[in-house]
Structure 1
Amino acid sequence: MEFNEAKALMFKKLGTSKIMALASSVDDYVMVRNVSCLFYDDKIYFKTDKNFRKTQQLFKNPRVALCVGGVQVEGIAVNKGLVVEEEGRKFETAYKKYLWQSYNAYSHEDTEILIEVTPVFVEIWDEDENRYAFQTFIDFEKQSVEVKAYDQKD
Structure 2
Amino acid sequence: MTFEEGKDLLFKKLGDYKIMALASSVNDYVMVRNVSCLIYDDKIYFKTDKNFRKTQQLFENPRVALCVGGVQVEGIAENKGLVVDEPDHKFETLYKKYLWQSYNAYSHEDSEIIIEVTPKFVEIWDEDEHRNAFQTFVDFETESVEVIPYD
Q: Give the TM bin, normalised by the shorter chain.
A: over 0.9
Deviation of 1:145 after TM superposition, in Å, equals 0.2
Q: Partner letter of residue 10 of structure 2?
A: M
1:68 aligns to 2:68 (yes or no): yes
How far apart, CA to CA, are the structure 1 residues paired with 2:44 and 2:20? 10
Could you state the TM-score of these two structures normalised by the residue count of structure 2? 0.99
Q: Note the 1:1-154 alignment, pairs <5 A.
A: 1-151=1-151
Q: Partner letter of residue 114 of structure 2?
A: L
* Aligned-residue RMSD, C-alpha: 0.4
Q: How many residues align?
A: 151
Q: Which runs of 4+ in 1 moved over 4 A?
A: none
Q: Secondary structure at the match of 2:8?
A: helix
Deviation of 1:6 after TM superposition, in Å, equals 0.6
Deviation of 1:84 after TM superposition, in Å, equals 1.0
Could you state the TM-score of these two structures normalised by the residue count of structure 1? 0.97
Q: Partner letter of residue 123 of structure 1?
A: E
Q: Partner letter of residue 63 of structure 1?
A: R
Once the two structures are aligned, what percentage of the paired residues are identical? Answer: 83
Deviation of 1:34 after TM superposition, in Å, equals 0.2
Q: Structure 1, residues 75-104: CA drift from partner, whole Å, max 9, x if none?
A: 000000001111210000000000001001
Gap runs ≥5 in structure 1: none
